[in-house]
Amino acid sequence: MGKIVIHAGRPKAGSSSVQTWLADHVDDLRASDVLVAQAVMSKVRDVVHVREYRADRRVNSGDFIAAYMRLDDRPAHLDRFLSDMASLADSAPTVVITSESFANLLEPADEQFLQGLSELNRSHPVQIAYYVRPQHAALVSAWAQWGYRGYRKPAAYIESRATTHRYLTTLETVERLAPEVEMTVRPFRRDLFVGGGLVSDFVSTFLGLDDSIVEEAWANTSMPVDLANVLRAAPEGTFWTSDVKPRAAARKSGRPTNSYRAAVPLLEAWKVDESAAAISGRHLVHRWAHEQFEAENRELIERLGWPADEFIPPPPEGSGSDLEQLNELWTVDTLTPEQQMLICAVQDLGDAALELKRAHSSKGVAGRTLGPESRGRDFLRRVLRR
């Protein structure tokens, strides 16, 4: 009767780093009686199966959540997922499946999914691994990863995500709806990680393995806020397919072009000094988040016994916490000639990265483009500081 670990993120709380490590060490984990599972869409339309991880698909099991949330026949889809997980757990002492998208079934809670986990728990112990990041940092990171691509203004985007960042509320809801399932909330903060790193914390806490086997590495970090704000001002259709991108301000952006997808990992690696506007915006979100979340955070700390007095540190002093100020700070109304050149350069960078990716040699372009003496990085720094 194997144990099932569902790594449910949260988004922007190191999920990609955990997933990368799991995929890179799947054979070593199997030798330690840990089976890495993945949910994949089959050739039969809208049918997702869970299997032991194979490198022909990504380890992130978002296929299940995406299909489950859009299908009408959810019970049959959930039954297949639970049955596949149970079969895998019959063959290994520990089975781990990972996707930050599982958090979408916890916040707000999907009662059908949680009841299904309760049923699965009767035959195989189920534990939810749920990493939470201080909200001010999580929200800024979310803007720089996804928010800038939509039509919502920065303040509206940040506010729209507030309900999904009430961690104690999420924990209490899951415990109420699925009391048999163990939900373990861990802090995404360097000073609170077991072993000093996120992956070490995950391996030790949830897989029961010695964290000395871990070499920490970060994956899928967000790009600089300044760069995200400039790209947001690009003409429609430049980076997202305009035929897909909805017009409604409250809806998500369209599908990124293949070229832009190829450029994003390179853009995320650019580390440049932030402009005064970007820093002021971060401080504003920090003050707002502290007011919104910290009282509940401290209840969570007390309940879970984390060795900390606060989760969001005291914010920098500043002129209030009215998020509407963020719209002025993080909106580029008119692109300067240099910013227009930067957008063209990002397009060219994506095209080149896509070609090299197809040729299985993208490491070369990454090294030339992102090295410490990179002219591209110097140019980016000059443009963003204007």
pLDDT string in tens for the chain (386-residue length): 799 999 999 999 999 999 999 999 999 999 999 999 999 988 766 788 999 999 888 999 999 998 898 767 888 889 999 999 999 999 999 999 999 999 999 999 999 999 999 999 999 999 999 999 999 999 999 999 989 988 899 999 999 999 999 999 999 999 999 999 999 999 999 999 998 899 999 999 999 998 777 787 777 778 999 999 999 999 888 888 754 444 444 344 567 888 888 888 888 888 888 999 999 999 999 999 999 999 999 999 999 999 999 999 999 987 788 999 999 999 999 999 999 999 999 999 888 888 877 775 444 434 433 333 344 445 455 544 54
Which residues, including other chains, have CB under 8 Å from residue 202's CB and lie 6 or more apart?
7, 18, 129, 131, 186
| Res 372: pLDDT | 34
Distance CA 385, CA 350 (A): 23
| Res 375: pLDDT | 43
Which residues, including other chains, have CB under 8 Å from residue 371's CB and lie 6 or more apart?
none
Instruction: Please tell me whether the overall predicted TM-score, pTM, comes out greater than 0.95 for this model.
Output: no
Tell which residue, 267, 278, 381, 274, has the closest CA to residue 330: 278
One-letter identity of residue 1: M
Q: What is the DSSP string of 282-323?
A: HHHHHHHHHHHHHHHHHHHHHHHT-S-S-SSPPPPP-S---T
- DSSP at 186: E
Domains and CATH numbers, the chain: 3-136+162-213 (3.40.50), 225-273+334-384 (no CATH)
Handedness of CA 186, 188, 189, 190 (dihedral sign): positive
Distance CA 323, CA 321 (A): 6
| Res 369: pLDDT | 39
One-letter identity of residue 200: S
How far, CA to CA in Å, does 94 sit from each of 79, 101, 186, 208? 20, 21, 19, 9
Strands (E), 42-88: 48-52
Residues counted in the chain: 386
Beta bridge partners of 4: 95, 126
Checking phi first, is residue 320 left (phi over 0); if not, alpha (psi -120 to 50) or beta?
Answer: left
